[in-house]
Amino acid sequence: MRVGAMVVTSFAAAAAVAACSKNEPREPARQPGPVAKPSDAEVVTPAPPPTLNKTTPTHQASVSVLAVSAAGGSDAAGGRKVVAYNVPAWQRCYARALASEPGLCGWMTVEVDHHRHGGFAHSFPASRIASAALMRCLSFDLRAPTEALSVPGTTYRFTLVFTPPSKTAAECGPKGGLHATDRRCRTDADCAAIRRLYVSAKNCCHSCNTDAVAKSWVAPAQRACAAIGSKGCPLKKCVALKLVRCHRGQCEVKRPLSAR
């Protein structure tokens, strides 16, 4: 009898729980929310790079070469060999000059003469860089490899541009064609006789020597020379200019008959 009563009681309790669960309100099922799209995500903008000021280096110091030419012979390749042979030494000279003169900027024209009897000599007919130490270093270290001097009587001419990190080659390079005298011609009428120009870090002067140049080069060169200024140039009394002609596509001074 007790067992039956317990069973009846259990069934009664289960029925009561079921009745309660039927009457209790159910929580509605949650609907899935919208999936976040990449465009809805928060975009993190990276911080802009720091602004460079005028004293921040934007590139390394360099020595670039312009207008490699050969006059008096057809050995233009020899001029390029001379340049390639000397570039490392020029870079070292400029690095040493920058160590004591930061911001040193300018250009220099170099001429290397291969003598007909052998050997060579060099000169700096035009320069717009104020550094005596750099000039001495370049003069001491300049070399001409034997394989480059294959055509005696040739003059190699090229221009070096020295650019510090804070400037560009356009700012430091030559203007007005003063670094590379244009002598190209087809007839004698294309040539003009002028006083030879000498450009330095301080001024642009002329000598009494006659220079044969292309007529189209005269006006730009004279404007560039005037912009530099002639303060400090020596006063000279020069004789009349010599006659010039076009010979094998190049303007040259006419030699007297006794010298031919």
11 part of a folded domain: no
Instruction: Specify the number of domains making up the chain.
Output: 2
Q: Which domain holds residue 211?
A: 176-260
- 129 shares its domain with 141: yes
Give the pLDDT band of residue 184 (cuts 50, 70, 90): confident
- 168 shares its domain with 74: yes
Measured CA to CA in angstroms, residue 234 lies from 106, 203, 228, 238 at distances of 24, 11, 15, 12
Annotate 124-136 with b (16+ C-beta within 10 A) or e (fewer): bbbbbbebeebbe
4 part of a folded domain: no
pTM: 0.59
pLDDT at 83: 86
**Mean pLDDT, residues 93-98:** 93
| pLDDT per residue as tens digits for the range 37-87 | 444 434 334 444 433 333 334 458 899 988 777 765 556 677 888 888 889
- 161 shares its domain with 61: yes
Least confident of 4-13, 203-212, 226-235: 4-13
- 78 shares its domain with 159: yes
Per-position DSSP letters for the chain, written without gaps between them? -HHHHHHHHHHHHHHHHHHHHHHSPPPPPPPPPPPPPTTTSPP-PPPPPPPP-TTS--S--EEEEEEEEEESSS-HHHHHHHHHHHHHHHHHHHHHHHHHSTT--EEEEEEEEE-TTS-EEEEEEEE----HHHHHHHHHH----TTT--STT-EEEEEEEEE-TTS-HHHHS--TTTTS---B-SSGGGEEEEEEEEE-SS-EEEEEEEEEEEHHHHHHHHHHHHHH--TTPPP----PPPPEEEETTEEEEPPPGGG-
- 79 shares its domain with 162: yes
- 137 shares its domain with 209: no
To the nearest whole number, what is the mean pLDDT of the chain? 75
